[in-house]
Each structure stands twice: as structure tokens, then as C-alpha cells.
Chains A and B, each alone.
Chain A
Amino acid sequence: MTATLEVRNVSKTFESDNGDRIQALAPANLGVKQGEFLSIIGPSGCGKSTLFNIIGGMIPPDSGEVIVNGVSVSGPHKDIGMVFQEESTFPWRTVLDNVAFSLEVAGMEKKERLEKARHFVELVGLTGFEHHFPHQLSGGMRQRTAIARTLASEPRILLMDEPFGALDEQTRLLLGDKLLKICDALKQTTMLITHNITEAVQLSDRVAVMSYRPGTIMRTIDIELPRPRDSELISTDKFAAYVGQIWEDLRTEADRGMKAVGEA
């Protein structure tokens, strides 16, 4: 159950409170193939979340369109599952009830939905924590709960906005391994937004590099590393070469970003 995703000429300009116009996205073009894992990498503030929100139908683009399986879509779409950058578990629900949320609102019967939710809890490695509340879990476990909640709605395209952004490096690598296993199992079309080069290379079939504001896709790089992968990969020469190559592209953009922030 996968699909293709295409972003065609999508642009967005925000008007800030003091009337300044911030062009967050210059016309951006991008295609994600069936079952492909694509990462989008770019410096902070380059419009990654804006692109994520437009693809997910949370905000409308000023121009261009989002195409799922050849059909132009607007607004939230059931084929697209979103994992947000911010912590998004429901604090009043247990892990299991969080994961069952999308099934519950879709009207699935209780027994059936809990059974299904259990499967996804297991998939993200949280078995034994079904009846814990989010505040009893670590940040990484909460983020896995959020991922399982999105997976449980069985979207054909999985969109994730820096899901591991707030975690420490070790947790991030281990969760990356977990995510690799899940993706190998689900063979799902996935788009991951990140500002972490290691993470992008570790997980992706292809990495798209974004420029600093106004954000646009500068180039994409195929990551030809064998699958199944795990975090041991990061000590290989080939891995280092990819990281170097992406950093080369990102460097000038990150620099522009730093200067822009410094000036502000």
C-alpha cells in the first residue's frame, strides 16, 4: 500500500505581524517514487516545515500543487500520514489509546482497534508500555508513540518533520535503526525532513538538499548503500563520502542562514 508523491511549483510567502513579507518557499519541485525513502535536508528556517505543512494540506500554497498518485489534492488527505516536529502525543491517553486514536475517530470497533494498535506498538518497540501515559516515558518513546499513531492509520505516504529533532545523538541513531526496520517491513513511501546529515544518509534512498530562504530544492543525491542497513553503516568510507558531499552543498546555505540570523 504505497503511492507516489509529487510537489509541483509550490511556493509560499508569509506576512509577519509587523507587515514584513517573508518568502519561505520559492517554487519548489520534488517527486517521491513508490516505496522510496526520501529525506529533505536544509538549514533551520529554510522552509522545511512550511513544505511539510503544504504537502500535508495543513496550509494552502500560494502557487503550485501537491499530487498524490497522479491526482492533485488540497487539504488534509487520508493517504498522507503526518508526524509533527513538536511533541504531539495526547497526554491524557495511554500509549495504546494514543496509537488507536486514528482508528477510534474512524469508527473502528474497540476490540479490533486495540488489537491493531498493539501491532503498531510492537512495531515501534514499545511492547510493555501500552498502559503508560506519555509523561511516564522518555522523549524518544513519546516520539515513537507519535510515529506508531500515524502508522496505525495506514497512510500510503508517511511524512515526518524532524521527528528526532529534540533527541540526543545516541537515541537518534538507535531510533534511526528502528525506523529502518519499520520501513523495510512496511515498504512505505516516506518523506523525512531533517537537519541532520547522518540521519539523512543513514535512512534514505535519496536526499534532497534545500537552499536557505527562500527555500527551494537545490539538488537530490541518490544514496546507494545496501539494505537492510543499520547504524554501523556510519563508520564506512562510503557513508562518510555521502556525508561530505551533502555537507559541501549545505555549507554555503547554512552559512547564509547563520548570517541572516546574525543580522536580524
Chain B
Amino acid sequence: MAQTGMNPRLRRQVLTLQVLTPVVLVILWELIARSGLLYEGVVPTILEVASAFWNEVSSPELYHHFGVTLMELFGGFTIATLIGVVTGIALGSRPFVSSVADPFLSSLATTPKIIFLPVVMLIFGIGPESKVALGALGGFFPIALSTMSGTLNVRPVLVDVGKALNLTRWQMLVKIYLPSLVGPIIRGMRLGLGVTIIAILLGEIKLSNAGLGFLAIEYYNTFHIASMYSILIIIFLTALSINAVMSYISQRFDRA
């Protein structure tokens, strides 16, 4: 997206390039598809992809899988956020405990969550539950880490203001800690959402019976390559919209 701080001429150039890039890519695609250099099956023409796309969006089956993926995302991300925030505050409000926990959390955070797939599968089966669990696991770490460091950095003088007024623990949490943590929590959620999306789609592609990832891999296995591309486009557009919503929310509420 074009930065608002830029001068108008530069911004126009950026915008022009941003519009031209996909156009050029589409033309390149079409040229490669028609050149006969690659198997027809690997790079279908734009027309084929477009008609497959149209078939997809006009079939009720797509919406079933779309709904499954959205529900998994919603469930996984909600769980990641709730548990991540609670864990982050619980650890961050005890500096000793958080310094013990930090290396474990940090190294688990960078571990690809897909390695937990077998475990999650054993516990939750191949249905949506295991994808929710995988997504929650993925989103949890960035949210917990960000909340934890935010909690450690809550300004002590604000906590003192609460202490001087004899606030209850609950009031302390709701009136002082949580408002101080809005920025760190939202930043953690932004990172966590990306990880949750990746974890859920990977889970669907690896082993599942529904969802957009499942549909894409099904088309791949049955060699419906144009349809597979159209699902990828739908996944891409979905991720793009979710990200846009998250950006809006973070700009709206995170004043830091």
C-alpha cells in the first residue's frame, strides 16, 4: 500500500507500479502457458483458470469448505488469543517466572507448528477439531510472548496509582494492566493470526476431510490443476481480507 507520508509524485509512481505488477504477471503467465515450454497441466491458461474459478464460486460445495476453514480460523484464533493473553499476563506479572519461561516460549514460538500435527491428530482426529487445535497452538506463542513483554513493561508508576487507591486485583487487571496492554496484545494478535492461518491450511492439506486446503490438495491429487489454482486464488484473497481487517483494527486501537 502507498504510504501516506510520501510526496504525491512518488506516491503516484508507487501506485502505478502496484497496479502494473499483477497485470504484467498475468500477461507473463498467459505467455508461458501458451508457449508450450511447460506441460499444459502445470500452467493452465488464464481462461481455463477463470472458468474453473467461476465453476467454483457458483457451486455450493465451495461454500461448505470455505465455511469449515473460516470456522477453524475463528475457533483457533479465539482460543490462541484468550489463552495467549491470560498466559502472557500471568507470566509477565511475575518477573522471576517470566525469565524462567522466556527461552522455552521463544524457542517453541519459532518451531514450525506442523510438527505437532501427529500429536494433535491422535488427540482430536482428522476433523476440524485438530485444525483448530493446530491453529490455536500456532497463534498462541506470538500472542503470549508479546503480552508477556508488555506486562513486564507496564509503567510501575501507573501500578502505584492503583495501589495507592487500594484497587482489588480484578480492578488492577481491568483498569490498569489491560488498558496498558492494548498495544502489545494487538501486535501479538497480528503476528499470531498469520501463524494460525498457515498452521490451519497446512493441517488441512496434510490430513483432513474438509476446508479450502483440503479442496486444493484434492484437485491436485485428481489433476484438476485449473481448479486447484482457483482455490489458491480464493485462499489468497481470503488471507488478504483478513489481514486488511486486522490492520484496520490495529490502527484503530493501537496508539503506540
Contacts and interface: CB of A to CB of B under 8 A. Distances in A.
Interface stretch (B17-25, B159-167, B184-192): B159-167
B29 to A, nearest CB: 49
B185 to A, nearest CB: 13
B237 interface: no
A76 B162 CA distance: 10
B179 A90 contact: yes
A87 B157 contact: yes
A81 B164 CA distance: 8
B164 A86 contact: no
B204 to A, nearest CB: 39
Contacts of B171: 105
Nearest to A88: B157
Nearest to B161: A88
Interface string B89-127: 000000000000000000000000000000000000000
A58 B157 contact: no
Interface in A86-117: 86-88, 90-93, 101-102, 104-105
Contacts of B175: 101, 104-105
A37 interface: no
Interface residues of B, number: 17
B158 to A, nearest CB: 6
Contact of A58 (B158, B160, B167, B176): B160
B164 A76 contact: yes
A88 B182 contact: no
Contacts of A76: 163-166
A78 B163 CA distance: 11
Contacts of B161: 82, 84, 88, 90, 101, 149
Nearest to A56: B164
* Size band of the interface chain A makes with B: 20 to 34
A153 interface: yes
Given A105-B171, A105-B175, A88 B158 contact: yes
Q: Give the interface centre of B155, B164, B165, B176 by most chain A CB atoms within 10 Å.
A: B164
A76 B159 CA distance: 13
B165 A84 contact: no
Interface of B: 155, 157-158, 160-161, 163-167, 171, 175-176, 179-180, 182, 255
Closest 7 A/B residue pairs (Cβ): A86-B157, A82-B164, A92-B179, A88-B157, A76-B164, A76-B166, A84-B157
29 contacts: A56-B164, A57-B164, A76-B163, A76-B165, A76-B166, A81-B164, A82-B160, A82-B161, A82-B164, A84-B160, A84-B161, A86-B155, A88-B157, A88-B160, A88-B161, A90-B158, A90-B161, A90-B179, A91-B255, A92-B179, A92-B180, A92-B182, A101-B161, A102-B165, A104-B175, A105-B165, A105-B167, A105-B171, A149-B161
Interface of A: 56-58, 76, 78, 80-82, 84, 86-88, 90-93, 101-102, 104-105, 149, 153
Given A88-B160, A92-B180, A104-B175, 19 more contacts: A56-B164, A57-B164, A58-B163, A76-B163, A78-B166, A81-B164, A84-B157, A84-B160, A90-B176, A90-B179, A91-B255, A92-B182, A93-B179, A101-B161, A101-B165, A101-B175, A105-B165, A105-B167, A105-B175
